[in-house]
């Protein structure tokens, strides 16, 4: 039986999405910790899959984690980890703490770029036959001189605020505009989605 899945990233195009669009898919995957409070009308309030840096010191609240309906979780960090209790819901889930550690070297070898969490999530679904339709929300490929994320700088996780400065020495300026190239390689990331979609004959709905 074929399925559809929508992957939610954090790019500014999230604001073009609607909860109705997200809910039209059988399953939902989120990348890291996209802010949901106040944005439910754009990204909904559920997630079956969570692709995340499990080392992140600023996860969702336990209340939010428990409310999502998570079934599977994948650590996309370079370094494997069993994960702290704060990142998991109170109900049982499947968790792969070494997913990123295993996948990132393969990407670098075969595709010649280090993948973002969003690309790792896309790769996961595009290669699985049962997923015939993949939605992409907030996939904007880290373009320089564009807003980095759909939310304001005041909502940036505390652990990431060092990335924002007014002098151009960090990836973002104080207004949240990207001023430096992203190490995940914008061009190769976008090309990867296009080529893999064709290779595996997937329908892509990209907002």
Average pLDDT over residues 90-102: 98
Average pLDDT over residues 70-94: 97
pLDDT for residue 161: 94
> The tokens of 34 are what?
């996209």
Helical pair 186-199 and 117-126, crossing angle rounded to 10 deg: 10
Whether pTM > 0.85 for this model: the answer is: yes
Say yes or no to pLDDT of 205 above 90: yes
Say yes or no to pLDDT of 207 above 90: no
Question: Considering only CA atoms, which of 27, 31, 24, 37 is closest in space to residue 8?
Answer: 31
CA pair distance 180, 49, nearest whole angstrom? 30
Cα–Cα distances (Å) from 68 to 71, 72, 104, 179, 183, in that order, read 9, 11, 27, 34, 30
pLDDT for residue 176: 96
Average pLDDT over residues 161-175: 94
Q: CATH assignment of 3-145+184-206?
A: 3.90.1480.20
Going from N- to C-terminal start, the domains of the chain cover 3-145+184-206
Question: Considering only CA atoms, which of 160, 166, 161, 122 is closest in space to residue 141?
Answer: 122
Helical pair 117-126 and 99-110, crossing angle rounded to 10 deg: 90
Q: How many CB atoms lie within 10 A of CB 121?
A: 28
């Amino acid at each position: 039986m074929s399925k559809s899945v929508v992957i939610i990233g954090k790019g500014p195009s999230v604001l073009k999405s609607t909860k109705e669009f997200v809910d039209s898919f059988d399953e939902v995957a989120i990348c890291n910790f996209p802010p949901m409070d106040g944005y439910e009308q754009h990204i909904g309030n559920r997630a079956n899959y969570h692709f995340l840096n499990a080392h992140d010191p600023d996860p969702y609240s336990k209340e939010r984690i428990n409310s999502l309906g998570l079934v599977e979780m994948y650590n996309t960090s370079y370094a494997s980890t069993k994960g702290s209790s704060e990142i998991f819901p109170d109900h049982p889930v499947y968790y792969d703490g070494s997913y990123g550690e295993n996948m990132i070297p393969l990407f670098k070898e075969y595709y010649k770029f280090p993948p973002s969490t969003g690309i790792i999530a896309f790769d996961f679904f595009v290669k699985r036959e049962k997923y015939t339709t993949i939605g992409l929300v907030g996939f904007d490929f880290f373009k320089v001189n564009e807003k980095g994320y759909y939310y304001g700088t005041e909502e940036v996780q505390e652990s990431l605020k060092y990335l924002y400065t007014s002098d151009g020495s960090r990836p973002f300026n104080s207004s949240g505009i990207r001023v430096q190239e992203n190490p995940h390689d914008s061009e190769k990331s976008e090309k990867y989605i296009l080529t893999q979609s064709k290779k595996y004959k997937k329908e892509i709905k990209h907002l």
